[in-house]
Structure 1
């Protein structure tokens, strides 16, 4: 039996907790600085998802997974949310290696651009809903 986390547009969303994620404690001192930096697009997104206000789903901000710090993480879905700013244009190889590593752990990655979060937030949130439904909708048994 699938454990249901939430519903999006009446579609039940199943939990997909990924256990035993690697954690590099040496990155912990960087977390406070990244949070305090207050990158505008991350702050805007955080205001949309903090305190379970997005479909009662709990998001973590600046989460260490392996040797990486991801922008946002939904533990009960095994979902990483990355907001890509201009620096990602010059880090394509790094981002590709990072994404393959995260996917190898069984995680899914949703990406939004810094521009879209600042200028098309409604569209980003709808795309996130669609991504969650597409990847985590509970299987229904025919009646």
Structure 2
């Protein structure tokens, strides 16, 4: 968690040095918040105000050259909600490049399709909860493995 705070501070300083570019990212992030998709709005209702596992999420958060749909910096978790345009091969290559960069920053990335968020909200939330609580996930795995023996 301390590493993620350091990452956030370092990236903030880089944005400050970039000057105008940082302002553009903030303006873009604000515009994206205003123009959220239905899936983003739905997920945000469940993530805001530390509703999921007490984790603090930010939405449309500028980080380096990207604007992240949702990020929990203290847990190092990025959540991306993808629409149909992400099925295109060129978009998939861009998403992969973005994911690699985020991993290099020490962040984990979970991606969900818009329709999954809208139609299977509880399953998406369960996956997010599992990602936020790895110790509980390992305990559940052990319980399942013990029951199988």
* TM-score bracket relative to the smaller structure: 0.7 to 0.9
Question: What's the TM-score, normalizing by structure 1?
Answer: 0.79
> Using the alignment, how far apart are the partners of 1:32 and 1:106 within structure 2?
25
Superposed CA RMSD: 2.0
Question: Does residue 129 in structure 1 map to residue 129 in structure 2?
Answer: yes
Q: Give the Å deviation of 1:108.
A: 0.5
Give structure 2 stretches of 5+ with no counterpart.
16-21, 140-149
More strand by percentage: 1
Kept in 1, the 8 Å contact 2:99–2:109? The answer is yes
After superposing on structure 2, the runs of 4+ consecutive aligned residues of structure 1 that deviate more than 4 Å are none
More helix by percentage: 2
**Which of 6, 10, 20 matches 2:7?**
20
Cα distance per residue 1:78-131 (max 9 Å; x no partner): 110111111111200100100000000110111111111000000111111122
**Bigger relative contact order, structure 1 or 2 (CA pairs below 8 A, ≥6 apart):** 1
Q: Give the Å deviation of 1:17.
A: 4.4
Q: Give the Å deviation of 1:66.
A: 0.6
Give structure 1 stretches of 5+ with no counterpart.
1-14
> Using the alignment, how far apart are the partners of 1:20 and 1:59 within structure 2?
16
